[in-house]
Every structure is written in structure tokens, then in C-alpha cells.
């Protein structure tokens, strides 16, 4: 199978890429290298596209799935540069449009921060009340994906990642 991994040069992304390669898959990484590094991908047989996640339309090879990890990954980043809110959502919509047009499934890296303020144990059906831009962006991405699924049948799984080390 052939997968695109946005943010594939980052910590989580590069580990995912390595696993996908070991399982015999072909991988295309899209990364702008703002926080990722090509060093994380050394010795891996991949195709690399330097660019933002929203530039997925540069991929002309047929693909079987998209792992979207190319999203600014910390609350302080959004607080300092609020334009990242717009960029993250814009890139996400471009990925959804590409996936919808080509009937490709997506795995979205969301965040466990969505549950902040709720008592443990956490459950998916808990009320979500974002308290920062980082969490709101990830939660908005999940909600937008739900609408794409309802209207167009776009298949998205959102993983609310916890402690990834």
C-alpha cells in the first residue's frame, strides 16, 4: 500500500513512517521542516515533498491512505502566532477535499487535551470545552471531518493521542 504522512519528519510522524516502511508499505512524506528534521528519516526509503500539509495536491501518485500529523503541535505556538489557527484549518480542508475527491481514508492526529478540565476517567462522550487555541483547532478539525463524512462519505479516524513517548 502507499500512504502519505504529513508531518512525517517530526517525532511521531517519523516513527509512524518507519513502522509503515517495515510493514512493506510505500510512504510519501510531506513536511515543511519547521519542527521536523530530515535526520529523523535518514536511511528510510521514502519519497519526500518539502511543503505544508495543505499542499497534498502535489501528490500525483495514487495513494491508499493519509496520516495527517502535519499540524502545529503545542499550545504556545498558537498563542504566539494566531495565524496558525487559520493555516491548520485551511490545510485540513485541503486534505479533506483531496481525500473526498480521491476516495481516500484519513487518520487525523488529534489530542487528549480535548478532555482537559474533565474528571478522569475520560470518555469520548464527555462535554468538550476547549480552553486554548491548540485544543480548539484539533476539536474543530474533528467536527469538520464529521461533517465531511455526513455530507460526502469521507472516512476519517481521529486519534486523541496521549503520552506518545
Could you state, in order of their start, the residue ranges of all structural domains in the chain?
2-161
Three-state SS at 82: coil
C-alpha cell at 113: 487535551
Alpha helices in the chain (DSSP H): 11-22, 75-80, 83-102, 133-152
What's the predicted TM-score (pTM) here? 0.95
Nearest Cα neighbor of 75 from 122, 119, 112 is 112
Provide the angle, in degrees to the nearest 10, between the axes of the packed helices 83-102 and 133-152.
20
Q: How far, in Å, CA of 91 to CA of 88, rounded? A: 5
Intervals of the chain under pLDDT 50: none
- The confidence score (pLDDT) of residue 78 equals 80
Residues taking part in catalysis: 134
**Domain 2-161, CATH:** 3.40.50.720
- The confidence score (pLDDT) of residue 118 equals 87
Q: How far, in Å, CA of 34 to CA of 7, rounded? A: 10
Q: How far, in Å, CA of 102 to CA of 116, rounded? A: 35
Amino acid at each position: 500500500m502507499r500512504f502519505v504522512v504529513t508531518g512525517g519528519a517530526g517525532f511521531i510522524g517519523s516513527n509512524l513512517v518507519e513502522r509503515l516502511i517495515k510493514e512493506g508499505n510505500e510512504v510519501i512524506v510531506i513536511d515543511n521542516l519547521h519542527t521536523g528534521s530530515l535526520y529523523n528519516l535518514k536511511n528510510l526509503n521514502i519519497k519526500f515533498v518539502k511543503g505544508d500539509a495543505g499542499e497534498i495536491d502535489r501528490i500525483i501518485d495514487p495513494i491508499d491512505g493519509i496520516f495527517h500529523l502535519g499540524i502545529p503541535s503545542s499550545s504556545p505556538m498558537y498563542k504566539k502566532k494566531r495565524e496558525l489557527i487559520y493555516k491548520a484549518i485551511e490545510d485540513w480542508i485541503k486534505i479533506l477535499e483531496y481525500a473526498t475527491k480521491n476516495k481516500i481514508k484519513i487518520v487525523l492526529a488529534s489530542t487528549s487535551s480535548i478532555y482537559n478540565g474533565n474528571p478522569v476517567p475520560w470518555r469520548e462522550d464527555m462535554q468538550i470545552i476547549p480552553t486554548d487555541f491548540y485544543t480548539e483547532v484539533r476539536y474543530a478539525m474533528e467536527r469538520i471531518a464529521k461533517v465531511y463524512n455526513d455530507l460526502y462519505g469521507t472516512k476519517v479516524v481521529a486519534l486523541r493521542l496521549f503520552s506518545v513517548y
